[in-house]
Amino acid sequence: MIKSDIRHHPSHRWDSLGIVSRIFHVARTVILWILSIIHFFPLCSLLVLMGGVIDPRRNDRPQRWLFRNILRVAGVKFEVCYAPGFDRKKTCFFVSNHVDLWDAFIIYSAIPQFVRGLEHESHFKIPAYGWMMKRFGNVPVPPEGNLAKYKQMMKLTRESLDQGISLIVFAEGSRTLDGLVKEFNPGVFRMAIQFGYPIAPMSIVGAYEFSRKGDWKLFPSRIVVHMHEQIPTDGLTKEDVDPLRQKVQEIVAGPVNDYYGV
């Protein structure tokens, strides 16, 4: 188990650096961003073009290689820990904590099966990334209050699951501001019970030390993803939504809390 402390957050690491070290670190971050962007856009565009003529499932391995390689280029040491009861082939909802925009690369690198995500519809407007997510079948999540788009989201979600495509959900709804796991929203748990598919909790540990919301700097980090055993939803009802939500939140938060000594 990795041990750390809340004092190891990037803000504290940055404050402890001298002027020369800060200049070096800024230069390093700029170089890493340039290398990552140069690496991402051409290969991402190639995958989009390939997706126009080849079934995206056949592009799954190249996509996973691309995302893992982007993490390497950005200076991340990456590791995945699978629970003994984790089923690599079971179609499910993967529920993870949400740290930063790099989470998409982390999660796609960790999940050992064909998977797509439930993403806010605004993400589909991002150049290259949005094009790839739309072509590969990610499900857009509309703003609250749009009933027609909500029904469409539910339809696409059910179709994806029934086709054997697992879906990723950030149940917090927004990125963390302190590295810790916030309260989960109930939406994905309602869907899991309604559609009868299990939930696979995921814990991303160490990503906040690499990059965080509101800060463009990148720090050398080791990121570990914990893949927990799937939780079945067969036989559950709407009364079980909140207990299921709390259970999954506690599982996801466990390794994160251990990391920070909470």
* pLDDT digits (tens), the chain, 262 positions: 444 444 455 555 655 666 766 777 678 778 877 877 776 667 666 666 666 666 667 767 777 887 888 888 888 899 999 999 999 999 999 999 999 888 988 998 999 998 988 887 776 777 666 666 666 678 888 777 778 888 988 999 999 999 999 999 999 988 888 899 999 999 999 999 999 999 999 999 999 988 888 787 888 889 999 999 999 999 999 999 999 999 999 999 999 999 998 8
- What are the residue ranges spanned by the domains of the chain? 6-260
Nearest to 127 by CA among 61, 56, 40: 40
| 230: three-class secondary structure by DSSP | coil
CATH architecture assignment, domain 6-260: 3-Layer(aba) Sandwich (3.40)
DSSP string, 96-148: E----TTHHHHHHHH--S-EEEEEEGGGGGSTTHHHHHHHHTPEEEPPTT-HH
Q: pTM higher than 0.95 for the full model?
A: no
Cα(242)–Cα(190) distance, integer angstroms = 9
